[in-house]
Amino acid sequence: MEKIDAELRALVANMAETMYEAPGIGLAATQVDVHRQLVVIDVSEERNQLLVLINARITHQSGAQVYEEGCLSVPGIYDKVERAAEVTVEYTDLDENRRTLTADGLLAVCIQHELDHLDGKVFVERLSRLKQMRIRAKLAKQARITA
């Protein structure tokens, strides 16, 4: 069980700040080079409902939905990704309570997007081979221009 210590709280505060500044609606610890099972999410309009998922695990998922995704780790790339419409996720919160959350819509997309990051996966890998080839070519061209 993850020890919810001062270090973890400081990491959450840092990640939340990074996410709000991006601006983004989610951020995974792997994106700030910390390899812990931790993501922060806030899909609220008012940007004041931070959700902290520690050791999260999707226990149920159903349906399908398509959403135009972007990612802080692959700037400038946007594409439609199909994911589950509804997910149930078990996780530990900052008060060390084990909780279960069922989400749909954008929150469900975000939870799946962020938990993919913890598995080292970015949304580009969920696209067709052809789209991935085009994205690789685009990124290579961008790299040449900025080099």
Q: Which residues are catalytic?
A: 114
**Residue 110 binding ligand K2U, by CB under 6 A:** yes
Positions touching Zn ion (CB under 5 A) are: 71
Residue nearest to ligand K2U (CB): 24
Size of the site for ligand K2U (CB under 6 A): 17
CB of 10 to ligand K2U, least distance (A): 20
Choosing from 12, 27, 38, 77, the residue that interacts with ligand K2U (CB under 6 A) is: 27
Q: Find the helix or strand (DSSP H, E) in which 45 lies.
A: none
Of the listed pieces 25-33, 87-95, 129-137, 138-146, which binds ligand K2U according to CB under 6 A? 25-33
Q: Which of residues 37-76 bind ligand K2U (CB under 6 A)?
A: 67, 69-73
Rounded distance, CA 37 to CA 55, Å? 5
Which ranges in the chain belong to alpha helices (H)?
6-21, 105-118, 129-146
Q: Which is nearer to Zn ion, 4 or 74 (CB)?
A: 74
Contact criterion met (CB below 8 Å) for 53 and 38: yes
Rounded distance, CA 105 to CA 63, Å? 11
Q: Which residues contact 139 (CB under 8 A, 6 or more apart)?
A: 74, 77
Q: Which is nearer to Zn ion, 19 or 71 (CB)?
A: 71
Dihedral over alpha carbons 46, 122, 40, 27 (to 10 degrees)? -70
Binding site for ligand K2U (CB under 6 A): 22, 24-28, 67, 69-73, 109-110, 113-114, 117
